A and B are shown apart, each in its own frame.
Chain A
Amino acid sequence: MKDSLVVAGSSYGSRLLVGTGKYRDFAQTRAAVEASGAQIVTVAIRRTNIGQNPGEPSLLEALPPSKYTYLPNTAGCYNAADAVRTLRLARELLDGHDLVKLEVLGDPHTLYPNMPETLKAAQQLVREDFKVMVYCSDDPIQAQMLEAAGCVAVMPLASLIGSGMGILNPWNLQLVIDKVKVPVLVDAGVGTASDAAIAMELGCDGVLMNTAIAAARDPVLMAKAMKKAVEAGREAFLAGRMPKKLYSAAPSSPTEGTISPSQSKAA
């Protein structure tokens, strides 16, 4: 059976979701996204530059929505009302597309989420038939509240957005994974491939990242590394890791038949 990520009834072969910000240009964006193997890409909604050359390339041309599932976000929103307005605009812009990433920030320095406003926005968006993937703190109770509100996926931070600090609290992530039934994706904090692998080994359903790829010295190469890390971590999770113990009296090689029988007995 194929091991797919299922979100809101749709299946995705890739468990790596990537952002499209902070790249040098659209060519690099496209090359990195392609190398990552991601099928879901996040985009931001912003005021158009009035007077800008109409012939200028757009993100929609670089990453055709026919080929990728767009996940419009509410980055930069600090209250529920702005987040809901932004996603209504996104749905209109993307011809009725209703899978969205909700994030309501609480602080412009840490970009830590404002959870009361996030929950309020989630409830409103679900009433309006949006399919909400929600960026949240790694608090298992908040995650359960978002699930109860009807979110299709919860996406706790591993560490702060853009920090690259990795998985700071695997125990809380584990609690979130254990407590909610909808997919759990780590969103924010991944810095390098091992971070993504750790998230997947914990049992996360996917990982969403932007800066870890875009801010690497070679973004396309890092995108390839992240693809492998997410796949490797997922397979390790499915395989079921061996238990940890401080030491083992069971060597991997046979204890019998060594050429120095007295020592093999001691081992």
Chain B
Amino acid sequence: MIVSMIRVTVNGDARRFDGPLDVAGLLARLDCKGKKVAVERNGEIVPRSAHGSTLIADGDRLEVVVAVGGG
């Protein structure tokens, strides 16, 4: 299997991962497994049901968010 390096931006920070990688795999590597989060990829929501089937591509911009206290 060819392992390719994927460069992505997660929450504004540049990161590198070994590919191929889907959103579920990315969340696991970010220690977000089991945490209630929502994911946006290149400006589009990735529904939870699609985390396992959405592949991350080189250059993707991802946002991983949670609910926090606020007014």
Interface residues of A (CB under 8 A from B): 19-23, 26, 29, 42-48, 50-52, 54, 58-60, 70, 72-73, 75, 85, 88-94, 161, 208-211
Contact = CB atoms under 8 A, between A and B. Distances in A.
A119 B51 CA distance: 33
A185 to B, nearest CB: 13
Given A48-B32, A54-B35, A75-B71, A88 B66 contact: no
A85 B11 contact: no
B67 A92 contact: no
Interface of B: 10-13, 30-40, 43, 45, 47-48, 63-71
B69 A22 contact: yes
Closest 9 CB pairs of A and B: A44-B70, A19-B71, A210-B71, A93-B38, A20-B69, A92-B38, A47-B11, A21-B70, A21-B69
A45 B45 CA distance: 14
Given A47-B11, A50-B30, A92 B47 contact: yes
A218 to B, nearest CB: 18
A19 B66 CA distance: 16
Contacts, number: 109
Contact of B37 (A48, A51, A91, A209): A48
B36 A19 contact: no
Nearest to A55: B34
A169 B58 CA distance: 54
A29 B70 CA distance: 11
B68 A88 contact: no
Nearest to B31: A54
B66 A58 contact: yes
B37 to A, nearest CB: 6
Contacts of B71: 19-22, 42, 44, 73, 75, 161, 208-211
B67 A43 contact: yes
A77 to B, nearest CB: 12
A13 to B, nearest CB: 22
A44 B67 contact: yes
